[in-house]
Structure 1
Amino acid sequence: MSDKDKDVTGLEAFFDAARTHAPAPSADLMARVLNGAEAEQARLRRRAQVADATPQSGLLEQIYRLLGGWPAMAGLTTAALTGIWIGTGLPEGLLAGGAEAAYLVDIAPDAVFELAGDF
């Protein structure tokens, strides 16, 4: 339809008739929709009853799931153990003392720096 053709009076009668006679759904369609809705509600009720019957997970299981399962927990455990190992294990050069520990630079010579001292 072009912009020059503004004569749509022939179609207006059909549009008016369509506006006044809105189609109503058939009784069969309404019955099928209601049956489907009731079946879905029954399924959701059964699902809710099953969910209520299962025990709630504990705090550790919630953390486990929150972090991403066993792959993430394995990575976190490895990182934690490596950090403990690096933090507690002193290099042999620092324990031997003398010339082998020459690479150790004392920034504050007045401060006491004991590597394996008694605490």
Structure 2
Amino acid sequence: LGRRVQKTTYAYRAGTWVKQSTKKFVYDGWHLIAELNEAGEGSFVSVSHTFEGTKDCPCPIKEEKRLKEEFKKKQEQIKFEAKKLSAKWRYEELKAQMGKEYKTLY
């Protein structure tokens, strides 16, 4: 297909070529989705760039990002509703307790 999968850069020092860095390119079908930097000893761990898909062809990274944002919003909504419920229960409990104390006074 003729796509680049790896790029190695060299520097000329003291009469010899010395390897500086290596990048690997990750594709999702036709689209480039990430560039990985060599972390040393041939292991590729560091992600230097990620690319999102286009509107006509969404990339899994873009979809994952959207789903994470939706999940975060739902979590915040659930926390808010839980706080409201907790406050309501405390109010009802306090109201019931005050009613009992009020009845014992008179």
Q: Structure 1 length as normaliser, TM-score?
A: 0.27
TM-score, normalised on structure 2? 0.31
Task: Say which structure, 1 or 2, has more relative contact order (CA 8 Å, 6+ apart).
Answer: 2
Structure number with the higher strand fraction is 2
As a proportion of its length, which structure holds more helix? Answer: 1
* Higher Cα radius of gyration: 1
